[in-house]
Chains A and B, each alone.
Chain A
Amino acid sequence: MMTNPTGRITQGQFSFLPDLTDEEITAQIDYGLRKGYAWSVEYTDDPHPRNTYWEMFGMPMFDLADPAGVMMELQACRKTFPNHYIRMMAFDSTRNVETIAMSFIVNRPANEPGFGLVRQETNGRTVRYTVHSYATDQPEAKRY
């Protein structure tokens, strides 16, 4: 159990809101598609704030224009990884943007133990900090 006001990891666009329903997720996907973004589904059991590369559940869906198709991919990912973190990512290929335009979590493990802070005392009062994920003490796929 994490002690921040939400009691959970707060990455992504909507972590402070009640979990989005499938209908609400569909509305966000639709918004992204109308903006010309390509959606992608990613999952992980290592949600460290600097773990950039979550696993890709297939390729970004560049040519898919129907939110229902994107939702099918999400459902397939949820079925395969029911206890992993899953996020929806939208890519914008516009010149001078060419990065992620939307990102929000749509699946979480039932229990989120969170992170500890390891302080290594060094010279003088300087401290080196390590954010340590309790879950990653276990091997991959056995963390949640």
Chain B
Amino acid sequence: MNKPHEPGSTEIAEITDKKKRYSAGVLKYRQMGYWNGDYVPKDTDVLCLFRITPQEGVDPIEAAAAVAGESSTATWTVVWTDRLTACDSYRAKAYKVEPVPGNPGQYFAWVAYDLILFEEGSIANMTASLIGNVFSFKPLKAARLEDIRVPVAYVKTFKGPPTGLIVERERLDKFGRPLLGATTKPKLGLSGRNYGRVVYEGLKGGLDFMKDDENINSQPFMHWRDRFLYVMDAVNKASAATGEVKGSYLNVTAGTMEEMYRRADFAKELGSVIVMVDLVIGYTAIQSMAEWCRANDMIMHMHRAGHGTYTRQKNHGVSFRVIAKWLRLAGCDHLHTGTAVGKLEGDPMTVQGYYNVCRDSVTKTDYPRGLYFDQDWADLKKVMPVASGGIHAGQMHQLIDLFGDDVVLQFGGGTIGHPAGIQAGAVANRVALECMVKARNEGKDILNEGPDILRKAAQSCTPLKQALDTWGEISFNYASTDTSDYAVTPAVA
């Protein structure tokens, strides 16, 4: 006989006292058809890999079945109304459980979901199912959604990036090298006029993009319209000074959709090529802004503000590779995906896995990079990954070796903090970038010869010499939290 054990139940205490009965409640999931070790996933199934940490005494297979149950049709007890439905279709099926290498008590659980469980073109619906209730489920100490395979049939119901990295390059007329950006600093306190100065100096000096930070919206020190007006003067002035298309990500994140549309419309009126939103606006708002961008020829930059609260710890939450997959489907053109060498969390191979998710036509299974499924993107447009946070010109060889050409490298402090000024900082980064791409194409081993290549380029470029002298030795060499379970990957110093 089961007792209710859902959060908020008045009988919680009684159940924790009656451990055996509590375990029997979990056993029910297995008996109800949420475990099938012989199940062969269909090409049209959504597949999920969960990392689960069952409570003491809970069998891992029972726990996996519970995850399948709680993320699909099950409730804590049997309901006769199941019999009014084709209930077997609606039951997710856990079909494989394996211990996580080197992590006693943790298990990988593979779960398959029939396509009928999901609404077309809705990340909100997909996430409400897959991460809706199950992460609070008591028989598990912790759970993490490690990876997901979205079937082609479902992928085709999403419109994906409004522009995509291929068309972005064509619009910007920039090919064969990473793009360069910088976040305007200090992130808070500059007036619109002062803010535009930083943008102008950075772009004229050689950057392709400048960027609003995630928390620049419309605060007392700078109204959003003021920022947009000054920034666009800076962008156009820099474009005339260099003969290049330039942009600055105007952050339109606001309290309501109506206000975001208002700000985006003004950005368009002023001729901006790009707008920006923060991940915290939520999936539905992101899909709506992607619609707006598609209708207005706009590139959409996504800052992953807040993701570290649920992606960083390995035992609980949602891996960023899953977030990246949802965001590619939902539709954004730029996505912050980590630097591996900078100031923010990121194990190099794990971060490369995120880049693959953004840029592949078909993402192949690659356990050391945390990719547990083949994912066919069905020709969905590609997302331009953005590497931002504590990186500098002296790491150019590492960055290009890790990430290749299709990435925006953002040097905020590494541009604006240059001892000879912002333009000099931009020059240093652009020269470092171009000399490293050239050397790689010439067949040089940039990972080993990189420092020499930079020093040589610095002989005829004082700003680069100053940058290397200032930051050449700076590294953030801390062990990563979110690391591969299948490879030893020391931090890149």
Give the one of A3, A24, A49 with max B CB within 10 A: A49
Known pairs A10-B244, A49-B239, A99-B169; A90 contacts B361 (CB<8 A): no
Find chain B residues with CB under 8 A from A96 CB.
166, 361, 379, 382
Are B173 and A11 interface neighbours, CB within 8 A? Answer: yes
Contact A5 B206 (CB under 8 A): yes
Stretch of A62-70, A125-133, A136-144 with 4 or more beta carbons under 8 angstroms from chain B: A125-133
Q: In the complex, what distance in Å separates the CA atom of A90 from the CA atom of B175?
A: 9
Task: Knowing A126-B229, A129-B232, say if A49 contacts B241 (CB, 8 Å).
Answer: no
**Are A102 and B239 touching (Cβ within 8 A)?**
no
Q: A16-B427, A117-B236, A127-B233 in contact; A4/B204 too (CB < 8 A)?
A: yes
Residue of B nearest to A18 (CB): B460
Does A95 make an interface contact (CB < 8 A)? yes
Shortest Cβ distance from residue B175 to the other chain A in the assembled complex, whole angstroms: 4
Residues of A bordering B, CB below 8 Å: 2-6, 9-11, 13-18, 20, 24, 27-28, 31, 47-50, 52, 90, 95-104, 114-117, 119, 125-129, 131-132
- A10, B437: Cβ atoms under 8 Å? no
Is B243 on the interface with A (CB-CB < 8 A)? yes
CB-CB < 8 A to A50: which residues of B?
173, 245
Chain A residue numbers with a CB within 8 Å of B56 are none
Shortest Cβ distance from A144 into chain B, in angstroms? 14
**List of A residues within 8 angstroms of B177 by Cβ:** 13
User: Would you mind naming 12 contact pairs between A and B with Cβ atoms under 8 Å apart?
Assistant: A3-B241, A4-B241, A4-B242, A11-B243, A14-B437, A17-B434, A17-B438, A31-B442, A52-B173, A100-B176, A127-B229, A129-B233
Whether B78 is near chain A, meaning CB under 8 Å from some CB there, is: no
Most buried by A among B424, B442, B460: B442
- By beta carbon, the residue of chain A nearest B225 is A125
B residues less than 8 Å from A14 (CB atoms): 434, 437-438
* Contact between B175 and A102, CB atoms less than 8 A apart: yes
Are A5 and B243 touching (Cβ within 8 A)? no
Q: Which residues of A contact B173 (CB under 8 A)?
A: 11, 49-50, 52, 103
The residue from B170, B205, B245 contacting A5, defined by CB atoms under 8 A apart:
B205
**Whole-angstrom distance from the CB of B228 to the nearest CB of chain A?**
10
The reply to whether A125 and B229 contact each other, CB–CB distance below 8 Å, is yes
A125 and B239 CA atoms in complex are apart in Å by 20
**A99-B438 in contact given A4-B241, A90-B176 (Cβ < 8 Å):** no
Contact check, B176 vs A13: say whether CB atoms are below 8 A apart.
Answer: yes
Shortest beta-carbon distance from B19 to chain A in Å: 54
Contact of B438 among A24, A98, A100, A116 (CB under 8 A): A24
Q: Point out which of A16, A20, A24, A102 has the most chain B C-beta atoms below 10 A from its C-beta.
A: A16
Contact A99 B244 (CB under 8 A): no
Report the Cα distance A90→B177, complex, angstroms.
13
Measured between C-beta atoms, what is the minimum distance from A111 to chain B in Å?
Answer: 14
* Chain A residues within an 8 Å CB radius of B241: 2-4, 114-115
A103 touches B175 (CB 8 A): yes
- The answer to whether the Cβ of B87 comes within 8 Å of any Cβ in the partner chain is no
Q: How far is the CB of A18 from chain B (nearest CB, A)?
A: 7
Contact of A102 among B176, B206, B229, B430 (CB under 8 A): B176
Q: Which residues of B contact A114 (CB under 8 A)?
A: 240-241, 243
| C-alpha gap A9/B464 in the complex (Å) | 20
Q: A115, B434: Cβ atoms under 8 Å?
A: no
Interface hits, B161-185 → A, CB 8 Å: 166, 169-170, 173, 175-177
At the interface, yes or no: B24 with Cβ under 8 Å from chain A?
A: no
Q: Is B271 an interface residue (CB 8 A)?
A: yes
A27 near B441 with CB under 8 A, answer yes
Q: Using Cβ atoms and an 8 Å threshold, which residues of chain B touch A99?
A: 166, 169-170, 175
Interchain CB contact under 8 A, B430 and A16: yes
B169, B244, B423, B463: the one within 8 Å of A100 (CB): B169
| Closest partner residue, chain B, to A128 (CB atom) | B271
Residues of B within 8 A of A90 (CB): 176
Let me know if B237 is at the binding interface, CB within 8 A.
Answer: yes
- List 18 additional A-B contacts (Cβ < 8 Å) besides A13-B175, A14-B438: A9-B243, A10-B244, A11-B173, A16-B434, A17-B435, A28-B438, A28-B441, A50-B173, A97-B166, A100-B175, A100-B176, A102-B175, A103-B176, A119-B233, A127-B229, A127-B233, A129-B233, A129-B236
Collect the chain A residues with CB atoms within 8 Å of residue B237's CB.
Answer: 117
B255: Cβ under 8 A from any A Cβ: no
Please report the C-alpha to C-alpha distance between residue A92 and residue B232 in the assembled complex, in whole angstroms: 33
Contacting pair B175 A131 (CB below 8 A): no
User: Cα distance A7–B306 when bound, in Å?
Assistant: 42
Residue of A nearest to B238 (CB): A4
Contacts of A10 in B (CB 8 A): 206, 242-244
A119 CA to B235 CA in the complex, in Å?
13
Q: Are B243 and A16 in contact (CB under 8 A)?
A: no
CA distance A17 to B270 in the complex (A): 33
Q: Mark B8-27, 1 if CB is under 8 A from A, else 0.
A: 00000000000000000000
Q: Which residue of A lies closest to B203 (CB)?
A: A4
